[in-house]
Copies of this chain bind each other. A is one copy, B any other.
């Protein structure tokens, strides 16, 4: 077995999920993630945890949903009982076909998802972590060869997370203390308030309130955006490619929008509800192990030298006690490249220019 799979397992179990003896661990094994499951199971054994492997294969799930009449029973007790008693749920993503869910009709898929809300909440109440085992199908989706894609994935995952967490703490401190963020680049000059909000140092560990491996971003919940912003990194939303998005904000709301590709899909997002035209997230990608777009949000939004904004729902953990933040049925991330001819200011002070942060060598005010 590729030695990197064992290192991946160790990072997942020790750094990300902080598994200890006696923990009850649900191990969700996708249909292409078998090898990582073997490596993770061995580590869980070494730590003295208990393990229950489940098989959330999208191909099996789609067959079930396709067969069903669509009137799904809400949160069957036998599944809920398991999740409610679990300490950790580790999701080993890695499909043999990333389009597998297309085998079931969209309306039944939505009904199934809706019927599993308590199960989802029970999973999110554990020390859950999602990660990805590289498969040929994911390489295909990224437009890469398999070996090259594996190199890419492990470059993103097998980092010195402690060091990156320390570096990201600089950005968290600046955001926590600041009141206003400004982004400037071609077709972009956007200000937004971060007054009173707390940033999350998303360092791929439950100890940092971070549940994705890889991670490597600092994010907060901005308010009252004003100005314009251009997103040059492509994205796929509900199977549709969207690229070259330009948004104009007035009084905190999107008042004008355009996209070079997928404008109708963008319009569908923005007209979902009122909250879909306000911002839910400002994130600063700081994982320089991720150096290219691979059409997977787990990786794309953490790319070094990028910033992303999400329209829609805000994360409660960024908000002051008692404040609700932006509400919406959607949360759609859009990414802009900050590596060249660009800067970010906090309260009038430049904190990143052309991809270099103020605490790094070569930074120019």
Contacts and interface: CB of A to CB of B under 8 A. Distances in A.
Nearest to A81: B81
A48 to B, nearest CB: 7
> What size tier do the contact residues of chain A reach?
35 or more
Interface stretch (A35-43, A142-150, A253-261, A289-297): A35-43
A27 B61 CA distance: 12
A281 interface: no
Contact of A55 (B29, B44, B50, B81): B29
Nearest to A31: B34
Given A37-B60, A50-B73, A54-B55, A67 B81 contact: no
Contacts of A63: 38-39, 41-42, 45
A60 B78 contact: no
A300 interface: no
B66 A45 contact: yes
Count of identical protomers in the assembly: 2
A61 to B, nearest CB: 7
Interface in A51-103: 51-57, 59-61, 63-69, 71, 73, 76-79, 81-83, 85-86
Name the prevailing secondary structure of the A interface residues: helix
A61 B82 contact: no
A85 B34 CA distance: 27
A191 to B, nearest CB: 48
A139 interface: no
A268 interface: no
Given A48-B69, A64-B45, A73-B50, A59 B82 contact: no
Interface of A: 22, 24, 26-27, 29, 31, 34, 37-39, 41-46, 48, 50-57, 59-61, 63-69, 71, 73, 76-79, 81-83, 85-86
